[in-house]
Amino acid sequence: MPSSTPFVDPATGELDAAQILTEAVPLGKLIGAFVAVSLVPFGLEFFAGPSALGAVFSLFGQFVLAVGAGIVLMYVIARGRELSES
């Protein structure tokens, strides 16, 4: 069992804002990357209108977001395990 708890300053017992931001920035960039990629098919869906092609673009955009959510969850789990071991 590690002696220090992640995200808690051992001297004061309060939350360590610097460490929280250090971990949040890469996570935010990863989420932003998948959102930016998904905006392309959703934008094409908007211009295609209510048609079969628009439905395909909508499904592809949702697929990108679903894969992105899975990758983000895997990153969070892997990073949490790294933090708990150190």
Does residue 45 form part of some domain?
yes
User: CB neighbours of 11 closer than 8 A, spacing ≥ 6?
Assistant: none
Whether 3 is in a domain gets the answer no
pLDDT band at 83 (very low <50, low <70, confident <90, very high): confident
Give a yes or no: residue 12 inside a domain.
no
For the chain, the domain total comes to 1
50 domain residue, yes or no: yes
CA distance 45 to 58: 6
- What does the pLDDT read at residue 3? 59
Integer Cα distance of 10 and 81 in angstroms: 20
Q: In the predicted model, what is the mean pLDDT of residues 8-35?
A: 90
Range of the domain at 68: 26-85
Which residues contact residue 75 at a Cβ distance below 8 angstroms, ignoring those fewer than 6 apart?
27, 30
Per-residue pLDDT reduced to its tens digit, 34-79: 999 999 999 999 988 889 999 999 999 999 999 999 999 999 999 9
Q: Does residue 29 surpass a pLDDT of 90?
A: yes
